[in-house]
Chain A
Amino acid sequence: MLHDILGWYNYWLIAVLILVGIYGMMAKRNLLKKLMGMNILQVSIILFFLTLSPKEEGSMPVFDAELASTAAGYANPLPQALMLTAIVVGVATTGLALALLVRVHRTFGTLEEDDIMEDLR
């Protein structure tokens, strides 16, 4: 039982982060805070992928003549490569979101969702 919990500690931590992110996106009424929640979620999922990568006996995935080509000797490079892409995508999303927020602020003079809804009504 204890092993069940401790052996998977990475997932528990990530699950908490995911929940924090989702909470931020749902409950916060300020658009910028929503965006922050989104970022937390992004990061937590990136962390999830990265924790799939390491192996107990493995070094970083850079070819080393001493270790030669033994799969068990290196961490799994694939999730790391994927996450490089995902990070960039996340940054791009955040950038676009900020641009939208600038525009929203210019139009409505506020970033509070409730005020904007009031304005639109």
Chain B
Amino acid sequence: MKWSGLIILVLAGGLLAYSAPDLPAYGDPESPASQHVSPRMIEKGYEETGAKNLVTAVLVDYRSFDTLFEAVVILVAGLGAALVLWPDHRRRDP
């Protein structure tokens, strides 16, 4: 376990280090993420959705489906907790 764990860590660390230089530098305005989808959201977000906070515009309009199921995740977790912790009838019977 110790050794295999170490190997996995080294492997994971190596992969992350190996790929980092291919990623955009911090704060780079030319990065692909800033060039492709997001510009429209910034430029037209207020106009199209009427939300001044662009994060809100994305969250509840452009990608509202995500947000809906984010709520579903909460429902799942709540129901799950109820299901797991619900007292067992059999045990309480005398």
Residue numbers of A with Cβ under 8 A of B are 4, 7-12, 15, 18-19, 22-23, 26-27, 51-58, 61-63, 69-74, 76-82, 84-85, 88-89, 91-93, 95-96, 99-100, 102-103
Contacts and interface: CB of A to CB of B under 8 A. Distances in A.
Interface of B: 1-2, 5, 8-9, 12-13, 16-17, 20-21, 23-29, 31, 33-34, 37-39, 41-47, 51-55, 57-59, 62-63, 66-67, 70, 73-74, 76-78, 80-81, 84-85
B57 A77 contact: yes
Contacts of B31: 52
Contacts of A84: 55, 59, 67, 70
Given A55-B29, A79-B33, 17 more contacts: A10-B26, A12-B17, A18-B12, A26-B8, A51-B26, A58-B29, A63-B46, A71-B34, A76-B38, A77-B45, A77-B58, A81-B66, A82-B63, A85-B59, A92-B77, A96-B80, A99-B81
A61 B31 CA distance: 17
Interface centre among A51, A81, A100 (most CB of B within 10 A): A81
Contacts, number: 147
A103 B91 CA distance: 14
